[in-house]
Amino acid sequence: MRVGQGGRVPPRVRTPQRHDVEASHTTRAPPRSDLLSGQIARRAAEETGLDGQTDRLPTAAELYISHLPGLPSDDTTTLFGGTLPATAAASATSTDHSDAHLYFLMAQPRHIPNRHRLIIWFNGGPGCSSLDGAFIENGPFRVNKDGKTLKKVVSSWNEYATVIFLDQPAGTGFSYATSDFVTELDTAADQVVEFLINLYSIFPELSTMDTYLAGESYAGQYIPYIASAILETARIKIPLKGLVMGNGWYSPKDQYPAYLDYLVQRKLVTKGSATYKTIQKTTEECLKTLHEMEVKDPQMKGSTVVGTCEQILNDVTEGTKKGDLCLNQYDTSSYNRCEEEWPPEVTQVQPP
């Protein structure tokens, strides 16, 4: 399945990166720099050839984030972040090959857990940065309304688990490739495996933790492929314990038709109305295209052409509009000004 061919509710941000496993396992490292400066430093190393696939990996100390701008001085959350090589070799089923480097942000537990667990978080898109999750969903901080300071979140997932927010595939967020981007989900999954191999070389204790892959939206496509790649590789052994997917995009041919059923059930669209007929017609065209693609190439099963099927959501927006207010696709009990970002917090994590 092609990376860019899955339907879903659009990304919320329209503009698209050693120690023993004991109770006190948290890694502490010498002061480094803030996240932005660390990223610039990593890029400088990469541009000078110090971070290539065959060159040395950074140390934990080099990935340690000692400070985030605007973070309360009394916060003790231990953070690591940076880019690691993730170039996947061309496989028998795909010729994709990209000189990839994946960006991650890792937050260690704030409290001593009774059992060490690792959660790797993936936002969807495709192409939505997992920093979305880190700063507006389940991460340790939120950006305050002033856009300059951060506040601690006491319900974050890293309260009792190590959480990694991973920008993937290369080209998403701070992750990048110096050559072509991948277009196949199996190769994107191979990039994650390569990333994990390098990550475990730096943080070996992570490889023994119960591991969970978690995500939302298009992660419903990513996660099964990544889990399969992890289970099939003989290069590393990962104690993969579970998959967690919220609002996952699994089956376009089943989920696209559900839009109209849902709208009718919620009394947002009246059955038989002009809006109903418009959405129904577009849905039928979408399903026809999906079927034709599957007949032409069985490997495309479950895929969709964005231009055909994504039009359904455009029809929904136009058909349910109330003046300058549009139905909130993320919370259909509310309307917002058309073209307004959602959730409101995203305006605080983007430059004006």
Give pLDDT tens digits for 156-202.
999 999 999 999 999 999 999 887 788 888 889 999 999 999 999 99
User: Which of helix, strand or coil describes residue 117?
Assistant: strand
**136 φ, ψ (degrees, to nearest 5):** -135, 5
The secondary structure of residue 268, as a DSSP letter, is: S
The pTM assigned to this predicted structure is 0.80
User: Which of helix, strand or coil describes residue 222?
Assistant: helix
The secondary structure of residue 328, as a DSSP letter, is: -
Quote the distance between the C-alpha of residue 218 and its chain's center: 8
Quick one: pLDDT at residue 250? Answer: 85
Distance of alpha carbon 51 from alpha carbon 100, whole angstroms: 11
In terms of Cα–Cα distance, which of 316, 200, 286 is closest to 6?
Answer: 286
Amino acid found at 112: I
Confidence of residue 90 (pLDDT cuts 50, 70, 90): low
Confidence of residue 74 (pLDDT cuts 50, 70, 90): confident
How many residues does this entry show for the chain? Answer: 352
Higher-pLDDT residue of 270, 17: 270
Decide: 312 and 282 in contact? Cβ < 8 Å. yes
Distance of alpha carbon 193 from alpha carbon 101, whole angstroms: 12
Question: Tokens standing for 347?
Answer: 């305006």
- Bridge partners (DSSP) of residue 163 are 107, 119
- Measured CA to CA in angstroms, residue 104 lies from 282, 289, 328 at distances of 39, 37, 30
Angle at Cα 252 formed by Cα 164 and Cα 269, nearest 5°? 110
Quick one: pLDDT at residue 72? Answer: 83
Higher-pLDDT residue of 297, 155: 155
Distance of alpha carbon 42 from alpha carbon 39, whole angstroms: 5
Backbone torsion region of residue 141, taken as left when φ is above 0, otherwise alpha when ψ lies between -120 and 50, otherwise beta? beta
Q: What share of residues in the chain are helix, strand, coil (percent, to 5)?
A: 35, 20, 45
pLDDT for residue 269 is more than 70: yes
Confidence of residue 35 (pLDDT cuts 50, 70, 90): very low
Decide: 32 and 112 in contact? Cβ < 8 Å. no
Peptide bond before 169: cis, by omega within 30 degrees of 0? yes
Higher-pLDDT residue of 159, 67: 159
Neighbours of 97 (CB within 10 A): 16
- Name residue, tokens 């399903």: 287
Quote the distance between the C-alpha of residue 336 and its chain's center: 25
Distance of alpha carbon 91 from alpha carbon 107, whole angstroms: 33
Quote the distance between the C-alpha of residue 320 and its chain's center: 29
Q: Is 171 exposed, middle or buried (0-12, 13-18, 19+ CB in 10 A)?
A: buried
Decide: 249 and 7 in contact? Cβ < 8 Å. yes
Quick one: pLDDT at residue 6? Answer: 43
